Amino acid sequence: MKIKPCDICGQRFDNVFEMIDHLYEEGDKDFDPTLLLPNGYKLLVGTLLRLIYDRSNKPSQVREVVSSAYLNLYLAETDEQAMRESVEDIIVERFVLDLDKELQKLLEDNDDTEEEDK
């Protein structure tokens, strides 16, 4: 899939997620389409697709994300209490993954700065 540069500023993008993030930078809202599930739960489809894309070179992590999503769809339909517990686990796991991602970025930025100082 070929991604066109931004019509306004000409910025080029490596993937569709970067392009859409760029389009939404000017607003205060992120693009994250949702699917309404039983009992009022929502599946954040945009977040799910981004997680799969971000882990596309790590098949075991893709399997984990897809399995978790599938299980949560089932639990939303059949067992509200188990769904609540699963959502709590996912929130904690997501926080840890986001923290890990930020730490990796910080370390990479630090490595780049140290190399420039040499």
Please tell me what DSSP assigns to residue 39: G
- pLDDT value at 63 more than 90: yes
- pLDDT value at 113 more than 70: no
- pLDDT value at 12 more than 90: yes
Q: Is the pTM of this model over 0.85?
A: no
In whole numbers, what is the pLDDT of the chain averaged over residues? 83
User: CB of 72 within 8 A of CB of 38?
Assistant: no
- pLDDT value at 57 more than 90: yes
Domain boundaries, the chain: 1-31, 34-117
- Name the token pair of 39: 């009992």
Task: Over range 33-39, report the average pLDDT.
Answer: 85
Measured from the Cβ of residue 110, the count of other Cβ atoms closer than 10 Å reads 10
Confidence band (pLDDT; 50, 70, 90) for 1? confident
